[in-house]
Amino acid sequence: QVTLRESGPALVKPTQTLTLTCTFSGFSLNASGMCVNWIRQPPGKALEWLARIDWDDAKHYSTSLKTRLTVSKDTSKNEVVLTMTSVDPVDTATYYCARIYYSPISGWSGFDSWGQGTLVTVSS
Amino acid sequence: DIQMTQSPSSLSASVGDRVTITCRATQNIRSYMNWYQQKPGKAPKLLISGASSLQTGVPSRFSGSGSGTDFTLTISSLQPEDFATYYCQHTYSTTWTFGQGTKVEVK
């Protein structure tokens, strides 16, 4: 059974750095084609893809946020960490991590497993 | 970046109705399109990947079609549990985007 769980602070002050951790089980991020993503959703608004880290340690970021984001993995702990610098109230959102995998036969799987999300509020 | 435009942004429908949601990409994304359902306070659920592949356990009343720039999610006979918000999302290129969502409400 695949599970993912996000953890991190519920409240962050403007200009600070936000660090979120995704702890997963039921799959290995060492397996070829496996990837973990970060996605966020401001209250009442649409989903926004933020970043992805792949099994081979390749990293991909949203064009609009790439200067502020860093994603990393610790495969021994089954963890993926997202840091976001210089947060602002507009970064207030529920942050999700989600799995996706690529198969040369069937292509991308879609985000087939999600964490429950963690609400982060940016306020002084 | 490739942008996804969903329409309509919301719709009102009754149980038993046929519902169609469209998503248009700003460039050719072949069949790299996924559809999700989200209910309030919950994480999204993957319905369809690769434009038309129904995920295991998803009812057959859901279907997806299209390729290139124009895609459709169809619910053939709306059920009470289908009232939710639906999102399209592409996996073409290295940066991905979601559509803005379509809220399906009770008429």
Rounded to the nearest 5 degrees, what angle is found at the Cα of B94, between the Cα atoms of A26 and B62?
65
Task: Please indicate whether, in this complex, the C-beta atoms of A47 and B1 are within 8 angstroms of each other.
Answer: no
For the segment A18-37, what is each residue's pLDDT rounded down to a tens digit?
999 999 999 999 999 999 99
In chain B the first and final C-alpha atoms are separated, in Å, by 36
Query: pLDDT tens digits, chain B, 107 residues: what are they?
Result: 999 999 999 999 999 999 999 999 999 999 999 999 999 999 999 999 999 999 999 999 999 999 999 999 999 999 999 999 999 999 998 999 999 999 999 99
Q: With an 8 Å Cβ cutoff, are A110 and B89 in contact?
A: yes
Q: Is B32–A62 a contact, with Cβ atoms under 8 angstroms apart?
A: no
Q: Does A27 lie at the interface with B, CB-CB under 8 angstroms?
A: no
What is the DSSP track for B58-106?
S-TTEEEEEETTEEEEEESS--GGG-SEEEEEE--SSS--B---EEEEE
